[in-house]
Amino acid sequence: MERSKLRRQKANARERNRMHDLNSALDNLRKVVPCYSKTQKLSKIETLRLAKNYIWALSEILRSGKRPDLVSYVQTLCKGLSQPTTNLVAGCLQLNSRNFLTEQGPEAGRYPGANSSFAVHPYAYPCSRLSGAQCASSTMASSHGLRSHAYCATYDALYGNASPDYNSSEYDGPLSPPLCVNGNFSLKADASPDHEKNYHYSMHYSALPGSRPSGPNLVFGSSGMRGGVHSENVLPYEMHLHHDRGPMYEELNAFFHN
DNA sequence: TAGGCCATCTGGTCCT
DNA sequence: AGGACCAGATGGCCTA
């Protein structure tokens, strides 16, 4: 009886740790989807849904090579989300705000949401790259208890203080989340030939610090570098884009639309 | 108060 | 045998 009880207690402890790890991973995921707040976290299921939509939206942008209009972008992000979360995300992107209405005006380029209750990723909307000054205003948001995304600091840490040329087609690095159209990430360490040959896009994570991105190889930081739950070091990723698309996109479309 | 979300416990299954 | 993973049950907390 004692032995059985002890075994059960150990199993419970393991299960707790396992769930804590899972929750840590979810927290990291929350930080890389467009809407993040320390005080009002997205639920687990909504985080997963939003992440799926976000990946989908970004892959559509890459596929089409065009900037989507904000309304359809938000609609894509909010597909299948609950009403409160939809409101949250729309609020994050300030769909109904003056910022949005003037987005095409003189303020165009300033990322919406910097002063809202939620931090919005600079890449939350593709036209919303931060300049150095905007980066500073984003940092100010954190002094009001808001979490501003630390991509500026991240960039500085990686590449020095020089602001990237966000208009340059070369630059799409630290602000871009990983894209893997077929939904599988392959680790460099254990990438199997079977994986490689079937994938039109594959992501290779490298444990070694990368160099500044150029051409198709993009390097950007993991959540760890932004002081996430885990304290792992910076893990720049290398992303390799394979250029032959086609049937896989049809599969992907079917998958998401189902 | 009902419903949503969450953490935890628990037993079952599969794998090493 | 022991660990990982999973799903069901349960109770607590919060909000509309």
Region A216-228 average pLDDT: 29
Give every CB contact of residue A78 below 8 A, 6+ residues apart in sequence.
A53, A85, A86, A89, A90
In this structure, are strands A119-120 and A35-36 parallel, antiparallel, or unpaired? Answer: antiparallel
Average pLDDT, chain A: 53
Residues whose CB is below 7 A of strand C? A 7, 10-11, 14-15, 18
Query: What is the predicted pLDDT for the residue at A153?
Result: 29
Residue A13 amino acid letter: A
**Which residues are within 8 A (CB) of A112 and not within 5 positions of it... i.e. 6 or more apart?**
A92, A93, A94, A97, A99, A100, A103, A120, A124, A125, A128
| C1’ B6 / CA A167, Å | 43
CA of residue A202 to C1' of nucleotide B9, angstroms: 39
Q: What is the pLDDT of residues A133-169, one digit of tens each?
A: 333 333 333 333 333 332 322 323 333 332 333 233 3
Answer for the pair A33, A50: CB distance below 8 angstroms, yes or no. yes
Q: Which residue, counting CA atoms, is nearest to the C1' of nucleotide C6?
A: A15
Residue A112: its pLDDT value, please?
37
Q: Which residue spans within chain A are E strands per DSSP? A: 35-36, 119-120, 186-187, 201-205, 237-241
pLDDT tens digits, one per residue of A22-75 = 888 888 888 888 877 767 788 888 889 899 899 999 999 999 998 888 888 888
Q: Per-residue pLDDT tens for A189-206? A: 233 333 333 333 333 333
Q: Which nucleotide lies closest to A41 by the C1' atom and the CA atom?
A: B5
How far is CA A73 from its chain centroid? 15
Q: What is the pLDDT of residue A10?
A: 83
Nucleotide with C1' nearest the A11 CA: C3
pLDDT at A95: 53
Mean pLDDT of A200-227: 30
Q: Give per-residue pLDDT as tens, A87-141.
A: 777 777 765 443 433 333 333 333 333 334 444 554 455 444 333 333 333 333 3
pLDDT, position A139: 33
Question: CA A203 → C1' C11, Å?
Answer: 42
* CA torsion, ordered A60, A50, A239, A118, to nearest 10 deg: 110
Query: How far, in Å, CA of A126 to CA of A111, rounded?
Result: 9
pLDDT at A14 over 80: yes
Q: pTM score, two decimals?
A: 0.51
User: Cβ distance A229 to A238 under 8 Å?
Assistant: no
Let me know: does A93 contact A74? Beta carbons within 8 Å.
Answer: yes
